[in-house]
Structure 1
Amino acid sequence: MSSVTALSFDISNIPLVALNVNVRKKLGLFLNPRNTVAADWMSIAEIMGFSYLEITNYENCQNPTRKILEDWQARCPDAKVGKLLSILEEADRKDVVEDLRELIEEDCRKYLSWQKEPPVQVPEVDSCVPRTPERSRITLEDDPDGGMPELFDAFICYCQSDFTFVNEMIQQLEQTEHKLKLCVFDRDVLPGSCVWTITSELIEKRCKRMVVVISDNYLDSDACDFQTKFALSLCPGARSKRLIPVVYKSMKKPFPSILRFLTVCDYTRPCTQAWFWIRLAKALSLP
């Protein structure tokens, strides 16, 4: 039985866009190094149908595996997850498929769940603005040809002064066994578009939940105020636990009254710090 058919559900029709950053990075770690024994990215590109000149030009890329996946996805209607795994098997790289099996299955399940259960919203909040290119190609991993948009487990609302804690959040939630995908504006959003349009699109359509990093500076931020109020309008009465406040350091100013009815994830209490990331990860993993 091949590694592809051994997966627990059919992935033959799931588009390649379902594979998020983590899987693509790990594919690069396996395939980017030039290898005289096992097939590397050049062999994969050849099987995908890239020409000799194209493959030669990819050698100048810092991450050729990522580039060939993006280009294959853009130009080939048959660029499915199942097809990619078949190509890896054809190149005798079943080791890659086996090592990434759980991550691939997880990304595919998330993709399927998003297809069946779009983010909760109230009709009054959804605008009639058409889906222009500005609203459809806004993050690093968005399909340039208008395919499946990049999706996230949570949008992180934060001030620049709190970015050190956001960095720790990335390490604890994305780069551990939790394997969550966070939308961090300064890292994931392409520059050049209207901030308010992009933010509302991400919160409403792309992210299942929003984490609000509360601090004294948060209370003075117009951007954070807009993001919080917009997210609250999408889930009145805290329906679906969509918005999660996080306090990571002591505050001199009063806690924002607009969030007083929500359960807070508090990092300032030493007695509960050991459970902090587990509780937050569990809340963000809920369907």
Structure 2
Amino acid sequence: MACSGSEVDLSTIPLVALNMTVRKKLGLYLNPRNTVAADWMAVAEEFDFSYLEIKNYEHSENPTRRVLENWQARSTDATVGKLLSVLAKVERNDIVEDLRALIDEDVRKYLENLKKTNDPPVQVPEVNSSVPRSPVQCAITREDDPEGAPELFDAFICYCQSDFEFVHEMIRELEQTDYKLKLCVFDRDVLPGSCVWTITSELIEKRCKRMVVVISDEYLDSDECDFQTKFALSLCPGARNKRLIPVVYKSMKRPFPSILRFLTRCDYTRPCTQAWFWVRLAKALSLP
């Protein structure tokens, strides 16, 4: 299924491209039990959820959201195109028509952010021609050896600037103790002067075994954090191979991001488990 007015194949766009607004509206359409039109249960059946799974979702406050999150977590077929095909199959073309403009806009933003990771910095021909055209590895982090292997890390830390004090504590607890883990902290490790989007995608995809996402109210407003999280999820649906680890270190006024709800989180705000927090996180990052 192609995106209207363009040649984008929506079957290649992962479900993580859909933002909160579209997901909420899907719930408004599908959550109410309806004897006339197909509801969330019909959609869940098309996603191959079992009878027992669907019965369990009945107790959820927002079953549509749960179904989408779990489908996204376990299926490599969880794409925007597949979702639209299923809605059409269960004869909910009303939803497709009403939400299509919002969906197309989310897809446009997603592709725009992905494109930023692949576009080289703009240079005038004179400057570009003066750069030696050799296959030498370009250094992007402090410890990179341009003539050797690239610097590798145990985890990429996704954070916003207002949470940097906690990132400092994470460095002390995980790098400067017996755990001896190696974290990729953008403001500390990345050399200045290169394209942020290109470097970020390179680090997440090729240099870091895992990604720690520091969740806060401020994180929810960060375009950079939003891109990093969605890019990491798009590499392997459900984060089965490059595992994402959400970390909550302070109480939040806003809901936890829906695209990460299917992942087990490390919660520093619970006094009863705080003593195990760093041990659990370090063990998760130390696994092969």
Shorter-chain TM range is: 0.5 to 0.7
CA distance in 2, matches of 1:144, 1:250: 43
Q: Aligned pair 1:216/2:226, yes or no?
A: no
Q: Which residue of 2 aligns with 1:225?
A: 226
Q: Deviations over 1:36-55 (max 9, x none)?
A: xxxxxxxxxxxxxxxxxxxx
- The equivalences for 1:27-38 within 5 A come to none
1:144 shift after superposition = 2.7
Q: Deviations over 1:109-162 (max 9, x none)?
A: xxxxxxxxxxxxx9xx9x9889998973100000033x1000000000000000
Task: Name the aligned partner's letter for residue 205 of structure 2.
Answer: E
Q: Which residue of 1 aligns with 2:287?
A: 286
Q: Which residue of 1 aligns with 2:182?
A: 181
| 8 Å Cα contact 1:245-1:259 kept in structure 2 | yes
Judged with a 3 Å threshold, the aligned counterparts in structure 2 of structure 1 residues 248 and 135 are, in CA distance, closer, same or farther, namely farther
CA distance in 2, matches of 1:179, 1:171: 10
CA distance in 2, matches of 1:188, 1:246: 21
| 8 Å Cα contact 1:250-1:268 kept in structure 2 | yes
Q: Aligned pair 1:143/2:145, yes or no?
A: yes
- The equivalences for 1:1-287 within 5 A come to 136-145=138-147, 147-240=148-241, 242-287=243-288
Task: Name the aligned partner's letter for residue 145 of structure 2.
Answer: D
| 8 Å Cα contact 1:135-1:198 kept in structure 2 | no
Q: Deviations over 1:70-120 (max 9, x none)?
A: xxxxxxxxxxxxxxxxxxxxxxxxxxxxxxxxxxxxxxxxxxxxxxxxxxx
| 8 Å Cα contact 2:118-2:198 kept in structure 1 | no
Judged with a 3 Å threshold, the aligned counterparts in structure 2 of structure 1 residues 228 and 204 are, in CA distance, closer, same or farther, namely same
CA distance in 2, matches of 1:165, 1:221: 17
CA distance in 1, matches of 2:270, 2:229: 24
Judged with a 3 Å threshold, the aligned counterparts in structure 2 of structure 1 residues 128 and 256 are, in CA distance, closer, same or farther, namely closer
| 8 Å Cα contact 1:213-1:245 kept in structure 2 | yes
CA distance in 2, matches of 1:263, 1:241: 14
CA distance in 1, matches of 2:134, 2:245: 30
| 8 Å Cα contact 1:154-1:284 kept in structure 2 | yes
Structure 1 stretches of 4+ moved >6 Å? 127-135
CA distance in 2, matches of 1:161, 1:155: 17
Structure 1 stretches of 5 or more lacking a match? Answer: 1-121
Q: Which residue of 2 aligns with 1:31?
A: none
Judged with a 3 Å threshold, the aligned counterparts in structure 2 of structure 1 residues 132 and 281 are, in CA distance, closer, same or farther, namely farther
CA distance in 1, matches of 2:264, 2:134: 37
| 8 Å Cα contact 1:209-1:284 kept in structure 2 | yes
Task: Name the aligned partner's letter for residue 144 of structure 1.
Answer: P
Paired residue secondary structure (2:275): helix
Aligned residues: 163
1:252 shift after superposition = 0.5
Task: Name the aligned partner's letter for residue 153 of structure 1.
Answer: D
| 8 Å Cα contact 1:135-1:201 kept in structure 2 | no
Percent identical residues: 85
Q: Deviations over 1:235-271 (max 9, x none)?
A: 2123036100000000001100110100010000000
CA distance in 2, matches of 1:139, 1:253: 34
Q: Which residue of 2 aligns with 1:94?
A: none
CA distance in 1, matches of 2:228, 2:135: 22
| 8 Å Cα contact 1:213-1:247 kept in structure 2 | yes
Task: Name the aligned partner's letter for residue 222 of structure 1.
Answer: D
Paired residue secondary structure (2:224): helix
CA distance in 2, matches of 1:196, 1:133: 21
CA distance in 2, matches of 1:169, 1:139: 19
Q: CA RMSD in A?
A: 2.6
| 8 Å Cα contact 1:135-1:197 kept in structure 2 | no
Q: Deviations over 1:207-255 (max 9, x none)?
A: 0000000000000000000000011112212303610000000000110
CA distance in 1, matches of 2:135, 2:208: 19
Judged with a 3 Å threshold, the aligned counterparts in structure 2 of structure 1 residues 222 and 129 are, in CA distance, closer, same or farther, namely closer
Judged with a 3 Å threshold, the aligned counterparts in structure 2 of structure 1 residues 230 and 134 are, in CA distance, closer, same or farther, namely farther
